[in-house]
Chain A
């Protein structure tokens, strides 16, 4: 089955700096890669996603890149703000199924 690894586990940045979180996956048949933001005790919120036929996608301060050959994808947050502080999870679909397998999470802290 799919295995998703995520780094770093914690990330502290100054407000206004950029933050990058990286994930690798094992299943070459995976075709969907969402990123979620989760605040304590809340449900995960989709912030951006990318499909395997696209290499990069951007939405305002958030971007995701995908390297299918290397089987890794990254989340980039620019001009970080304190409200970006949360736990971020990457996920990958398991093969060609509906299942989403989550990474281990990154706790992002943005200091004012």
Chain B
């Protein structure tokens, strides 16, 4: 089945530094990738939608300059948390849509990245 590889799984960084998270679709082409953020014991909050070759679309309240998203190819999307602060500590998870899937199908989630900013 479809697999999305997400790295790193865990990262600890100092305040003020930037962290890049990668999601790769291993055996399919992902036209669209979604980035979610999940605080402990809470739901997955959609942050942004990225389409290959175009600018990401951010949800209301998400700072685009803070969370840089790049979707340069059909198999790779990256999320960079810039100038990270402790409040950015969270579980970040991506979801990719299979190019060949019809609407509503083909969502595959990455394994998530636990970001801790100290």
Residues of A within 8 A of B (CB): 1, 31-32, 34, 41-44, 46, 49, 51, 89, 93, 96, 98-105, 107
* B95 in the interface (beta carbon within 8 A): yes
| Listed A/B pairs (6) with beta-carbon separation below 8 Å | A43-B111, A98-B32, A98-B97, A99-B34, A102-B44, A107-B41
- Decide if A31 touches B109 in the complex (CB within 8 Å): no
- Decide if A43 touches B109 in the complex (CB within 8 Å): yes
A109 to B44, CA, bound (A): 20
CB-based A-B contact count at 8 angstroms:
53
A14 to B41, CA, bound (A): 23
A104 to B38, CA, bound (A): 11
- Decide if B111 touches A42 in the complex (CB within 8 Å): yes
A103 to B36, CA, bound (A): 13
A1 to B42, CA, bound (A): 20
- Decide if A105 touches B34 in the complex (CB within 8 Å): no
Apart from A32-B104, A43-B112, A102-B36, what 6 extra A-B contacts exist at CB < 8 Å? Answer: A42-B111, A43-B111, A44-B93, A98-B97, A100-B34, A105-B42
Residues of A within 8 A of B105 (CB): 32
Residues of B within 8 A of A1 (CB): 60
Interface string of B84-114 (1 = CB under 8 A from A): 0000000101010100000111010111101
A11 to B5, CA, bound (A): 32
Within the complex, the shortest CB–CB distance from B36 to chain A, in Å, comes to: 8
A44 to B111, CA, bound (A): 9
- Decide if A96 touches B103 in the complex (CB within 8 Å): yes
